Amino acid sequence: MTCSISSLQAQAQNKIVRLLGLQQAEARIEVQALLRSILNASNAWLIAHSKDMIEPEKLSGFEVLLERRLKGEPVAYIVGFREFYGMDFRVSGDVLIPRPETELLVDLALDRIPENGNFRVLDLGTGSGIIAISVARQRKNALVTAAEKSSRALSVAKMNGKGIENIRFVESDWFDALCGEKYDLILSNPPYIPEEDRHLEDLKHEPALALTSGKDGLDAIRKIIEEAPAHLEPGGWLLFEHGYDQGEICRKLLSKSFHEVYSWKDLSGIERVSGGRLTSR
């Protein structure tokens, strides 16, 4: 059986909507990603060639990927990459899939890094490296350290950071391997979902290490807030991502050691990043 690229897209899109309950627009993006990886093509190519017939072996390749998707595997893991802050990042089951709301953390970081002069940035629990690498690409003068406990995740981050000169990768359980080091800015998207949270069922393909942190989800955040002051220069900032209902408790925890404590909302209007600043001297 053969069919055109556009009719294959329409059929696959409908299946995803029907069986996984996605919106049409999301399903379209997913189908495009699967097709692009099979055809090794850009979105522009897909549009220009929508009336072309798809070759039988490409068609069966596509059907294998679609089947995996319909069984629940996330598209980012099937195709092996996800776009974040304008760049494609490699991802595997060892790292969290990049979320668009994490771009807020990168924006807030860039607001605080001058375009000139030395500036030391630390990204704790870098995973696939999205935060550290996006910052390093936008601020060539900054020296970025990307720390990660999982060696498997760290090798994904290193692959993503290839060719970027102002970044270094360190295997470290939070601050453990960074003894005596100081930074102007510390960033993190730590695990923050409570251990028994019912949302975890939807995230079962992603590594638990990157998702959950103790009974209330705040173990990692408490540790970071506690230990960050010893690793920050006077006037330095700590900024981290957290769960939809954790803004208030995070501000409370921060205000013990930091001033200028704030939370920032993501595009859905949810408090998503909190942070504070050390006093200048």
Q: Which residues bind ligand GLN (CB under 6 A)?
A: 96, 99, 189, 191-193, 203, 211, 241
Residue nearer to ligand GLN on the CB measure, 99 or 222: 99
Q: Side chain identity at 83, as an amino acid letter?
A: E
Least Å from the CB of residue 199 to ligand GLN: 6
CB of 35 to ligand GLN, least distance (A): 26
Distance between CA atoms of residues 261 and 277, nearest Å: 7
- DSSP H or E segment with residue 153: helix 151-160
Rounded Cα–Cα distance for residues 219 and 43 (Å)? 42
Query: Judged by CB, which is closer to ligand GLN: 128, or 189?
Result: 189
Rounded to whole angstroms, what are the CA distances from 271 to 92, 102, 146? 28, 12, 25
Q: How far is the CB of 213 from ligand GLN (least distance, A)?
A: 8
> Among residues 132 and 193, whose Cβ is nearest to ligand GLN?
193
Instruction: Enumerate helices (H) and strands (E) in the chain, giving the number of each.
Output: 10, 9
Nearer to ligand GLN, 72 or 114 (CB): 72
Closer residue to ligand GLN in complex, CB, 241/271: 241
In the complex, minimum distance from the CB of residue 162 to ligand GLN, in angstroms, rounded to a whole number: 24
DSSP for 124-167 reads ES-TTSHHHHHHHHH-TTEEEEEEES-HHHHHHHHHHTTT-TTE
**Nearest CB to ligand GLN, comparing residues 35 and 75:** 75
Shorter beta-carbon distance to ligand GLN: residue 74 or 191:
191
CA dihedral of 111, 117, 123, 127, whole degrees rounded to 10: 100
Q: Which residues are 273's β-sheet partners?
A: 241, 264
The residue assigned the tokens 């629990």 is 125
| Cβ proximity of 68 and 78 under 8 Å | yes
To ligand GLN, the closest distance from the beta carbon of 186 in angstroms equals 16
> Could you tell me the sign of the dihedral formed by the alpha carbons of 227, 232, 235, 238, in that order?
negative
Residue 106 Cβ vs ligand GLN, minimum distance, rounded to whole Å: 14
Output the smallest distance, CB 249 to ligand GLN, in A: 15
